[in-house]
Structure 1
Amino acid sequence: MAINLNPYINWRGQAREAMEFYQSVLGGELNVMTFADMGGTAAEVAAAEGESDWVMHAALSVSDSVLLMGADHPKHVPGEPQTQQVSISGPAEDGDTLRSWWEGLSDGATVMQPLEQAAWGDSFGMLRDKYGVDWLVNIGGAQAG
């Protein structure tokens, strides 16, 4: 059995910009559906709130095992988007790709822990990107570089 657990991130009016940024960093194919695209009641409510072009659902398919999803949290829906965290990990063999993603995500980010060798032997780093999402990157068994 193959199971994938995919992060789903919520913003307030920044979903398209953020998902396009992630596509520029991670690659892959991005599909975006706005509230207006949905039609019906969802589109009517979004239009009344000035949110027609907000993202109802976006999916960035990077590979068979990497799928990042996201949406805008409408104003009329109770609650607020919270700080969200995405963890990316892989073996040393994928270190170049993971370092490249780290560098891309670092654009405009606050680095909380540089990507460097950790006490447990892997390379590990943490940052909060320019869209308020915390990213943890772990390269298994890799030397810092």
Structure 2
Amino acid sequence: MPTVLNPYLSFRDNAREAMTFYQSVFGGELRVSTFGEYQASEDPAEGDKVMHGMLTTPHGLVLMGADTPNGMEYTPGSSISISLSGEDEAELRGYYDKLSDGGSVTVPMEKSPWGDIFGMCTDRYGVAWLVNVNAAQGTTGAP
């Protein structure tokens, strides 16, 4: 198996809801383990929180996420974005539309100066997404 790089998102008390939302966007199988299942927290109130969630899609995408325990600092921010790119415009527009529903559009999906179709949005959980449909002439996508 080759080495892979997967986005791992942190949440505060809504990881299950967020990961279920991403499953509705991308499809696939969602596996969730709680702190309680592994006795990973001494705080009984954290028993149902997500210790590890992993969404694996039919197209090979993997997205992971978890709730941040109460004893750990949690600062949501804009220091990371997740990028989706490829050549299937209908598929990528579908992801963009679902991700932006309930969130906000930063850049509408339209032809970009580099020739691709590109859009940016922030989903309802505050995660920033970049979506790029590669131009037919084989460009590599957004810089």
TM-score normalised by length of structure 1: 0.85
Change (3 A) 1:121 1:2: farther
User: How far apart are the structure 2 equivalents of 1:35 and 1:105?
Assistant: 28
Per-residue CA distance 1:63-96 (angstroms, 9 max, x = gap)? 36310000011120235343342111112xx211
Match of 1:71 in 2: 66
User: How far apart are the structure 2 equivalents of 1:64 and 1:110?
Assistant: 26
User: How far apart are the structure 2 equivalents of 1:34 and 1:7?
Assistant: 19
Contact 1:13 1:73 in 2 (8 A): yes
Per-residue CA distance 1:33-65 (angstroms, 9 max, x = gap)? 1111112xx2323x1xx2221110000001363
Superposition map of 1:50-89 within 5 A: 50-63=45-58, 65-83=60-78, 84-89=80-85
- The gaps in structure 1 that reach 5 residues or longer are none
Match of 2:32 in 1: 32
Match of 2:42 in 1: 44
> Which residue type is aligned with residue 49 of structure 2?
W
Contact 1:23 1:29 in 2 (8 A): yes
Contact 1:124 1:139 in 2 (8 A): yes
Q: Does 1:127 align with 2:125?
A: no
How many percent identity over aligned positions? 49
Structure with greater helix percent? 1
User: How far apart are the structure 1 equivalents of 2:28 and 2:21?
Assistant: 12
**Root mean square deviation, CA, Å:** 1.7
Segments of 4+ moved more than 2 angstroms: 1-4, 78-84
